[in-house]
Amino acid sequence: MHSGSPTSGVGRVIAGRYLLLNRLGSGGMGHVWLAHDQRLACEVALKEIVFRDPAEADEREARVARARAEARHAAGLRGHPHVVTVHDVLEHEGLPWIVMEYVEGAVNLRDLIDRRGPLAPAECARIGLAVLDALTAGHRRGVMHRDVKPANILLAPDRSGAPYGRVLLTDYGISVQPDAGETRYTMASVLVGTTGYLAPERVTGGAPTPATDLFSLGCTLYYGVEGRGPFDRESHLAELTAVVMEEPRAAGRAGALGPVLRALLEKDPARRWPAAEAEAALSRLVVPEADAYARTQTDLGSQPPWGGVPPPGPVRPVPDVVGFGSPAGGWSPGPRQPAGTGRRVQHAVLAGLLGLALAGTGVWYALSQQADTDGTRRPYGAAVGLGEPLKGGDCVLADWPGTAAFQGTPRLSVDPSCGEKAPDGQVMGFVAAGSAAEARREGPAGCEKRTEDVRERLADVRSVAVVPTEAGFEAAGRRTACLVLGGHGPVFGPLGEHRRAGSAFADTATMQRRDCLDVRSRRDARLVSCAGPHDEQVLGFARLGADVTLSEARTESDTVCARVVPPRDYGFDPSVYTAGSWTSEGSWKTGTHFVVCTVRRQNGGTMEGDEP
């Protein structure tokens, strides 16, 4: 046995609990085993770190750190219907083992294509939509997967028995969270990823971004429908050269999927489709255009077995008094029905379904360019309904025309109080243009970039571009307004730089990563400068399972945050600091089940701005 190499084999018991039954597969970092959890009497998958060569022991520390990072990133998406659940990471004989959900009957997309040949475009679009949903959830947390490829997509039977109904993204082994101050465990000179699936900007040394994952998704969907990669060549070097210098092979079987592939395989990341446009286009391939409501329920068969589908519930009014709390506290405003025919952005979320942001860019623009029926010139068209151009920091209410948000064109109104009416979002910036045509062409992508920072700091928001009409271009100030809207409900108040120090949080929806909190009580937290005394600092977010009740969350969230967002990973001394959390009733009413994870001193004292 090499130094640091664990002994492997069927019948071995790991950490006194997990009995290895048989090997499921192998990868770059080690083996995946089917194991029996002797404590809970169920089967799990265990990922084992293996050093096959004595020389590899030199990078032992980096390998171990990458395994811990993989577990942390995947666990941060715990409960997502299209991500393989990570239960725990444990130490055994000096090395970590990752305990994961065992997906019975699963086959990866690469093996499936090898077995039965290329997929139909609509089936490939269904798989792509699920993977995109998983990637977007990670991107909202600042986590880039960096290795999207057919072998990392699992297809498994769903609850109805359809053999490939469930779609799961797996293997966050080389994922990275670049904006979290996280240590990178790969050398700068090492190209991380799979040749033929890397984005051109990554091959030439660029940083990982959401756009790089989307390029890899485009390569993966191309493989699914064509049976080979768009840049398959005889050698790895030839593949890398093709990714940077050559256009992808023309797709012969893609049909209606072809435009999506071309848009995702754009070499220039600035011209590549963002997630919202890809989501809208893929959804139209899965569900007919005419069936608008069904499009929000993309592929019921792809839900996990525990994802029940309740019907949309009634919209309840916001109470006059709201509560807000730490683990044992309670809280917060729920959705409401406004006057008028449209529903607010807050809507019932169907458990286990894909959340489709269909209105974010091109779809919104196409629908908002209706002629003004009353003869007036509104800057953004009659459908949007605003008589004046939006200003920076405006809080907005969004009334959607149907039963679900992010479909069709919402009628916008401004909430001057930015809080009394539980706003759905806020204007976070603008994209200037020389003409209405340029605004149509450049506005959506510009807004995606302009709002990227604040979106990565919040748990559940989406970017939306409000593009002026031809007639209203001058009145709109010759620019597109960039909104950030709550993904599944109101944001309840100011966002980002528009918040004032000392203001009380009305809801966890406005808490951002690295916010510092003055905690007056378990129901009252205020935003304060991190340079001065404060009680807690926000580190990130955790998403609890669909079966976890709010009362359970209030007692379990500290423990979950300690595991998913451990303060030690951010440089906090575990002998001094501990994990904390804040929960929200609104998060449970919308079905998102997000909790905010913080760090605080164990003795209850204040933090003085000298932390990492």
Quickly list DSSP for 564-598: HS-GGGGT--TTTEEEEEEB-HHHHHTT--EEEEE
Total Cβ atoms within 10 A of residue 8: 14
Q: Give me the phi and psi of 46, to 5 degrees please.
A: -115, 130
User: What is the C-alpha separation between 100 and 134, in angstroms, rounded?
Assistant: 17
In the numeric block, which tokens belong to residue 378?
A: 């509104």
User: What is the C-alpha separation between 463 and 441, in angstroms, rounded?
Assistant: 16
User: What is the C-alpha separation between 294 and 415, in angstroms, rounded?
Assistant: 31
User: What is the C-alpha separation between 93 and 115, in angstroms, rounded?
Assistant: 39
38: Cβ contacts below 8 Å, ≥ 6 apart = 13, 17, 18, 19
In the numeric block, which tokens belong to residue 604?
A: 């209850």
469 Cα distance to chain centroid = 31
What pLDDT score does 60 carry? 56
- Residue for token digits 């009628």? 411
Per DSSP, helices labelled H in 517-580 are 550-564
Distances, alpha carbon 25 to alpha carbons 7, 15, 45, 106, 562, in Å: 17, 21, 10, 12, 30
What pLDDT score does 321 carry? 21
Rounded (10°) CA dihedral 154, 159, 161, 162: -50
What pLDDT score does 525 carry? 92
Widest CA span in the chain = 82
Please report the DSSP string for 404-469 in residue order: SSSSS-PEEEE-TTSSTT--SEEEEEEEE-SSHHHHHHHHHHHHHHHTHHHHHHSSSEEEEEEPPP
Q: What b-and-e string marks burial along 557-588, b requiring 16 or more CB atoms within 10 Å of the CB?
A: bbebbbbbbbbebbebeeeebbbbbbbbbbbb
- At residue 276 the predicted structure's pLDDT band, cuts being 50, 70 and 90, is very high
Which H helix or E strand runs over 541? Answer: strand 536-543
What pLDDT score does 570 carry? 79
231: Cβ contacts below 8 Å, ≥ 6 apart = 196, 219, 239, 242, 243, 246, 248, 249
In the numeric block, which tokens belong to residue 151?
A: 């072998």
User: What is the C-alpha separation between 428 and 458, in angstroms, rounded?
Assistant: 13
Q: Give the whole-number percent of the chain exceeding pLDDT 90.
A: 34
What pLDDT score does 52 carry? 53
User: Using an 8 Å Cβ cutoff, are 82 and 90 in contact?
Assistant: no
Domain 13-101 has CATH 3.30.200.20: yes
- At residue 73 the predicted structure's pLDDT band, cuts being 50, 70 and 90, is low
What pLDDT score does 225 carry? 94
Is 219 or 532 the better-scoring residue by pLDDT?
Answer: 219
Ordered by start, the domain boundaries in the chain are 13-101, 107-301, 334-491, 497-601
Domain 107-301 has CATH 3.60.20.10: no
What pLDDT score does 159 carry? 76
- At residue 442 the predicted structure's pLDDT band, cuts being 50, 70 and 90, is confident
Question: pLDDT tens digits for 463-480?
Answer: 889 999 999 999 999 999
**In sequence order, what E strands does 41-143 have?**
42-49, 86-92, 95-101, 107-108
Asked if residue 589 belongs to a known ligand binding site, the reply is no
User: What is the C-alpha separation between 530 and 208, in angstroms, rounded?
Assistant: 28
- At residue 346 the predicted structure's pLDDT band, cuts being 50, 70 and 90, is very low
Question: pLDDT tens digits for 156-199?
Answer: 987 777 788 899 998 764 444 444 444 333 333 344 568 899 99
- What residues pair up with 83 in beta bridges, in sequence order? 169
User: What is the C-alpha separation between 443 and 436, in angstroms, rounded?
Assistant: 10
Q: Name the residue among 246, 227, 250 with its Cα closest to residue 238.
A: 246
337 Cα distance to chain centroid = 28
Radius of gyration of the chain (CA): 24
In the numeric block, which tokens belong to residue 467?
A: 């593009």
Question: pLDDT tens digits for 552-607?
Answer: 888 888 988 988 888 887 788 889 999 999 998 888 888 888 899 999 999 888 99
What pLDDT score does 431 carry? 92
Distances, alpha carbon 470 to alpha carbons 438, 473, 516, in Å: 11, 5, 44
Catalytic residue IDs = 147
- Three-state SS at 457: helix
User: What is the C-alpha separation between 5 and 55, in angstroms, rounded?
Assistant: 12
User: What is the C-alpha separation between 598 and 60, in angstroms, rounded?
Assistant: 30
User: Using an 8 Å Cβ cutoff, are 9 and 20 in contact?
Assistant: yes
Mean pLDDT, residues 388-409 taken together: 86
Average model confidence (pLDDT) for the chain?
A: 76
User: Using an 8 Å Cβ cutoff, are 313 and 354 in contact?
Assistant: no
Mean pLDDT, residues 542-560 taken together: 86
Is 588 or 215 the better-scoring residue by pLDDT?
Answer: 215
Residue 92, amino acid: H
Total Cβ atoms within 10 A of residue 91: 11
What pLDDT score does 506 carry? 85
Q: Give me the phi and psi of 99, to 5 degrees please.
A: -95, 120
In the numeric block, which tokens belong to residue 272?
A: 């590549």
Q: Give me the phi and psi of 601, to 5 degrees please.
A: -75, 145
Question: pLDDT tens digits for 141-157?
Answer: 788 888 899 999 999 98
The order of strands in the sheet holding 166-169 is 107-108, 153-156, 166-169
